[in-house]
Each structure stands twice: as structure tokens, then as C-alpha cells.
């Protein structure tokens, strides 16, 4: 594993180190959704 789980304590990442990725994935999901809208596979204006 590379990188540090805690920079201040110089603690290395382990196999079970948890990462907060939710904020990073929002952009990917938005691009995927808009790509589906552009291709006609998804509509944003339908009522659920």
C-alpha cells in the first residue's frame, strides 16, 4: 500500500483503511447521468 492514512502521525495506509470518497464520486455520477440524458436513455423531467 502507498500513501499515508494519517500525515501528522506518519501512519501508513493498511488494507482496511477507510477512505471518504463520496464527495469525489459526485462529479463522476453527474457526468454519467448527463451522458445518459444526452443519449436519450434517461429523462430528467419525468415524474416518479
Asked if the structure places residue 2 within a domain, the reply is: no
What are φ and ψ of residue 12, in 5° steps?
-75, 155
Residue 14 has a pLDDT of: 92
Q: What is the pTM of this model?
A: 0.53
Residue 37 has a pLDDT of: 97
Asked if the structure places residue 9 within a domain, the reply is: no
Q: How far apart are CA 17 and CA 10, in angstroms?
A: 14
Per the listing, cell 502507498 goes with 2
Q: Tell me the pLDDT tens digit for each residue of 1-48.
A: 678 998 999 999 999 998 877 778 899 999 999 999 999 999 999 888
Query: Do 47 and 41 form a contact (C-beta atoms < 8 A)?
Result: no
Asked if the structure places residue 44 within a domain, the reply is: yes
Asked if the structure places residue 40 within a domain, the reply is: yes
The structural domain count of the chain equals 1
Domain of 34, in residue numbers? 21-48
Q: How far apart are CA 17 and CA 1, in angstroms?
A: 10
Asked if the structure places residue 16 within a domain, the reply is: no
Asked if the structure places residue 39 within a domain, the reply is: yes
Residue 18 has a pLDDT of: 87
Residue 19 has a pLDDT of: 84
Asked if the structure places residue 35 within a domain, the reply is: yes
Q: How far apart are CA 42 and CA 38, in angstroms?
A: 8
Residue 30 has a pLDDT of: 94
Asked if the structure places residue 5 within a domain, the reply is: no
Amino acid at each position: 500500500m502507498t500513501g499515508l492514512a494519517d500525515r501528522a502521525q506518519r501512519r501508513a495506509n493498511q488494507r482496511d483503511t477507510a477512505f471518504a470518497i463520496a464527495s469525489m464520486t459526485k462529479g463522476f455520477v453527474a457526468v454519467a447521468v448527463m451522458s445518459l440524458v444526452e443519449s436519450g436513455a434517461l429523462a430528467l423531467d419525468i415524474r416518479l
